[in-house]
Structure 1
Amino acid sequence: MLDASHALIGASLAKLVPNPYLALPLNLGLHFVGDLIPHWDFRTRHVQRSKLTTIALSLSDAGVGYALGWWLFAGSVPLQMLQPEG
């Protein structure tokens, strides 16, 4: 599955379940459920494409997913709970 899809699924679950102790195991399970849905990817083992191109495509995909997730759900999850207490 594309990284963008995984990022959006994870961000959606984080919005619905803001407790990270519950969201993490749920997200791990949801990851495998999402992979059951037929989808396409960048064919990272494609021999006629350079490694640099494959890496650039993968990073672009991940960046788009994270940017969309941040844009859609920014402020929904209290990120200060992830900071160490000091």
Structure 2
Amino acid sequence: MSSLDIPVNKNEWYAMDAIHKIEDRTDIDECEKKVLKERVKQDRENAKRVSNDAFQIQVIAFGVIIIQIFLLVFIVLIPSKNHIKPS
């Protein structure tokens, strides 16, 4: 069971499909197959890393936007000295 590499999304499926196509090729030797499969796996890992980084950046950007909205509301709700009537 541990040797199964089950794809969890389309990108994973495409990578696994590419690996199976490489495995089925008869015009290249085993060494070249191994190199091509490792390249596909490395590309998949790089895509995962980029995707994770992009998600983290989106989370941080969302947090910054929430803070900016909070500060904007806070600034708008501060009473202005010009609007206070003198007694």
TM category, shorter: 0.3 to 0.5
**Higher normalized contact order (CA 8 Å, seq sep 6+, divided by chain length):** 1
Q: Give the TM-score taking structure 1 as reference length.
A: 0.38
Which protein is richer in helix relative to its size?
2
Question: What is the TM-score normalised by the length of structure 2?
Answer: 0.38
Rg larger for = 2
